[in-house]
Amino acid sequence: MNNLLVLPILIPLCTAVILIFFKEKLQLQRGISTVSGMLTILITLLLVSRAHNEGILTLQMGGWAPPYGIVFAGDMFALLLVAAASIVSFAILLYSFSSIGEKRERYYYYTFFHFLQVGVYGSFLTGDIFNLFVFFEVMLISSYALISLGGTRLQLRETSKYLLINIVSSTLFVAAVAYLYAAVGTLNMAHLSQRIAEAGQGGVLNVIAVLFLIVFSLKAGLLLFFWLPGSYSAPPSAIRALFGALLTKVGLYAIIRTFTLMFVNDSGLTHNLIAWMAAVTMILGSLGAVAYKDIPRIFNYNIIISVGFVALGVAAGTEDSLNGAVFYLLHDILAKGLLFILGGLIISAAGTDRLGGMGGMIKKYPLIGWMFFILALALVGIPPLSGFAGKLLIIRGALDAGMLTLSLIGLGSSFMVLYSLIKVFRLAFWGSEPEKEQPAVSLKGASAVAAGLLLLIIAMGIGADTLNAYVSQASDVLSSPAQYIQAIMKE
Amino acid sequence: MELVMALAIGILFTIGVYLILTKSLLRIVLGTSLLTHGVHLLLLTMAGLKNGAAPVLGKEGNYVDPLPQALILTSIVISFGVTAFFFVLAYRSYQTLGTDEIDSIKEVKE
C-alpha cells in the first residue's frame, strides 16, 4: 500500500478544477499551473526513487484486496513513463504561455491541459483493464476539447474525424472488455494474466487479443494511423506538441502492457502480427515523412515511424529489445515534445508552415537552428545522444529473435528520419531568405524552455548507464510478468 | 433470452454502422450513439443475464454478478458526455461551414 501513488492523478485533477474558477485571471492561471506542474514532477521523481528501492508500489482503492477492488500499480515502467510525461508536459506548459494566445487561455486551455494529464497518468498507473478504458476516455475527451479549441474551419473538420475514429475504437474497447470478462471472469490485469495462462490462450482468447490489438493500434497509430497526420496538424503547435509527445505513447503503453503481461502464451500469432504491423507502419511513415513539404505533416509522420519502431521492440520480445523499447519510449516522449516545440518556434519565426516559404533563418535564429540540428541527430540515434541506446538495444534484440528483415526496415526508417529532418533544417535554416518580410517575433522564453529539454536529452544520452539501472528494472518486470502478478496479488 | 439479446445487439450494431457510413454528420452522431448502446447490451449479456437473486442483500445461494451493471453505468456516462460533445461539434460545424454533409466538409480549405 502506498498512498503517494494517487498523487500524480490527484494534483492535476484538483488544479484543473481550481482553474475553472479563475477564467479571467490569466496570470493566476499560469501561476497555479506552473506550481502544479513542478509539484507533479517532484512527486513522480520521489515515486521513481521509491520504486527503485522497494520494488513495485501498489495501492488498493478503499482497501479492497485484488481481484475484487481497483488496484493502482506503479511498477518502474509505468512510473518512468509518468516521470517523463510530467517533465515534458511541464515544458510544453511553459511554452504555451508565450504561444497559445490569450483567447484560448480564457477558454479553459489550462483546465483541459490538466485534465489531459489526469487521463495520461491514470492510464499509466492503473492495474485494471476497465479503468484503463475510463482513463483513456478522460484523456480523449480532453483531447477533443483541445483539438477543437479555437474553432477554425480546419480544426472543426479534423475534430469530427478524430472524434468519430476514437468513438468507434472506444466502442470496440468496451466490446473487447466484455468478451474478456465473459471468457475469464476478471478485470484485474494481474489476475487476468494468471487466468489466461491457466486457460491456455486458445482460439477465443486469441480473437480477444487481436481485438485489443486493433483498439490500441488505433489509439497509438500503429498501422491504423490514417487519421493521425491530419488531426495532429489542426491545433496550434503547443497542443500539437502535447499530443505528439503523449497521446500515441499511451496507446503504445497499453500495447506493451497487454502483450507482455496478459497475452503472452501464443506469441507466434500475436507477436508476429505486431511485428508485421510495425514493419508496414515504419515503411508507410517513412514514405509520408519524405513526401510532404510542410512542417506539421513531416513531424507527424515522424511520430508514426517511432511508434512502429517501439512496436518492433515489443514484437521481438527478448530481454534486450524490451529494455530498448522502454529506453526508446522515454527518449521519444522528451524528443518528440521538443521537436514540436522547435517546429512551433520555426513556424512562428517564418510566419508559415510551408518549407517553400522559408530560408536563411540561421542568421537570425542561430540557437534554434543548432538545437534543431542536435535534436535531429538525437532522433536518428547518433551515439552520445539519447536515441542511441534504445535503438541499439531494440535492433540487437530483434536480431537475436531472428528478425533480420524487420531490423533492416527499422534501420532504414532511421535514415528516412534523418533525411526528412535534415530536409527541414536545410530548407528552413540555409539558403537565401525569402522576399517576403518575416514577422519580428521574440522567442527568448520559448527558446530557453527548448534548451532545457535539449540539455535533458543530452544528459539522458550521456548518463545512459545510470538511467539503465532504472530502465532495466522496468524491463525486468515486462519480461517476467510473475513479478508483477506477485506484487499485486500478494495481500 | 440470450438469443433475443444477441439479435438485438446485432441489429443495433448494423444500424449504427450503417448510420456512421452515411454523409450527414447528424446521422453519424446518432449512429455512434446506437453503436455504444449495442456494446452496453453486449457487456450485459456477456457477463451473464439474470440467473439468481439480487446481489448484496445477503441471501444464501446463487446471485447475480453485480459488476457488469457498474461497468455499464460508467460506460453510459462516458458515452453520454461524448455524444453531447459530438452534437455541439456538429452544430458548430454546421454554423461555421454552412453544411453538415461530411463530403463537402472535406473540401473545405483553411
Q: Does residue B110 surpass a pLDDT of 50?
A: no
pLDDT per position as a tens digit, A227-253: 999 899 999 999 999 999 999 999 999
pLDDT per position as a tens digit, B47-100: 777 677 777 666 667 777 888 888 999 999 999 999 999 999 999 988 888 877
Gap from B81 CA to chain A (nearest CA, Å)? 8
Is there a cis peptide before residue A67, judged by omega within 30 degrees of 0?
Answer: yes
Q: Could you tell me what percent of chain A has a pLDDT over 70?
A: 98
Residues of B in contact with A134 (CB under 8 A): 74, 78
> How large is the ipTM?
0.93
Q: What is the mean pLDDT of chain A?
A: 91
pLDDT per position as a tens digit, A52-63: 999 899 999 888
What pLDDT shows up at residue A1? 61
Beta carbons of B47 and A171 less than 8 Å apart: no
Q: Give the span between the Cα atoms of A166 and A141, in whole angstroms.
A: 10
Task: Give the residue, A39 or A266, on which the prediction is more confident.
Answer: A39
Nearest chain A residue (CA) to B30: A164
Task: Give the residue, B51 or A202, on which the prediction is more confident.
Answer: A202
Q: Does residue A45 surpass a pLDDT of 70?
A: yes
Confidence of residue A69 (pLDDT cuts 50, 70, 90): confident
Q: Which long-range contacts (CB under 8 A, 24 or more apart) does A453-456 make?
A: A453/A88, A453/A91, A453/A334, A453/A337, A453/A338, A453/A341, A454/A338, A454/A371, A454/A374, A454/A375, A456/A87, A456/A334
**Grid cell 520480445 in the structure block, residue:** A317
pLDDT per position as a tens digit, A305-326: 999 999 999 999 899 999 999 9
β-pair type (A71-74, A57-60) = antiparallel
Q: Give the span between the Cα atoms of A269 and A163, in whole angstroms.
A: 31
Interface test with A, best of B87, B88, B96 (most A CBs within 10 A): B96
Beta carbons of A156 and B28 less than 8 Å apart: no
**Residue B6 sits at the chain A interface (C-beta within 8 Å):** no
Q: Is A167 helix (H, G, I), strand (E, B) or coil?
A: helix
Q: Looking at residues A358-362, what average pLDDT do you find? A: 84
Q: Give the span between the Cα atoms of A27 and A99, in whole angstroms.
A: 15
Q: Is A314 helix (H, G, I), strand (E, B) or coil?
A: helix
pLDDT per position as a tens digit, A364-376: 888 999 999 999 9
Among the listed ranges A75-84, A99-108, A119-128, B91-100, which one has the minimum average pLDDT value?
A: B91-100
User: What nine digits make up the cell of B100?
Assistant: 453538415
Q: Give the span between the Cα atoms of A391 and A383, in whole angstroms.
A: 10
Interface list for B 61-100 with A (CB within 8 A):
67-68, 71, 74-75, 78, 81-82, 85-86, 89-90, 92-93, 96-97
What pLDDT shows up at residue B15? 97
**Residue B5 sits at the chain A interface (C-beta within 8 Å):** no
Q: Does residue B103 surpass a pLDDT of 80?
A: no
Nearest chain A residue (CA) to B37: A171
Among the listed ranges A134-138, A383-387, A424-428, B23-27, which one has the minimum average pLDDT value?
A: A383-387
Q: Is A270 helix (H, G, I), strand (E, B) or coil?
A: helix
Task: Give the residue, B109 or A70, on which the prediction is more confident.
Answer: A70
What pLDDT shows up at residue A438? 66
pLDDT per position as a tens digit, A282-306: 999 999 999 998 899 999 999 999 9
Q: Does residue B36 surpass a pLDDT of 60?
A: yes
Q: Which long-range contacts (CB under 8 A, 24 or more apart) does B63-68 make?
A: B67/A181, B67/A187, B68/A181, B68/B43, B68/B44
How many other C-beta atoms can be found within 10 angstroms of the C-beta atom of residue B62? 8
Q: Is B64 helix (H, G, I), strand (E, B) or coil?
A: coil
**Grid cell 466502442 in the structure block, residue:** A171
Q: Is A127 helix (H, G, I), strand (E, B) or coil?
A: coil
Nearest chain A residue (CA) to B70: A130
Residues of B in contact with A168 (CB under 8 A): 20, 32, 35
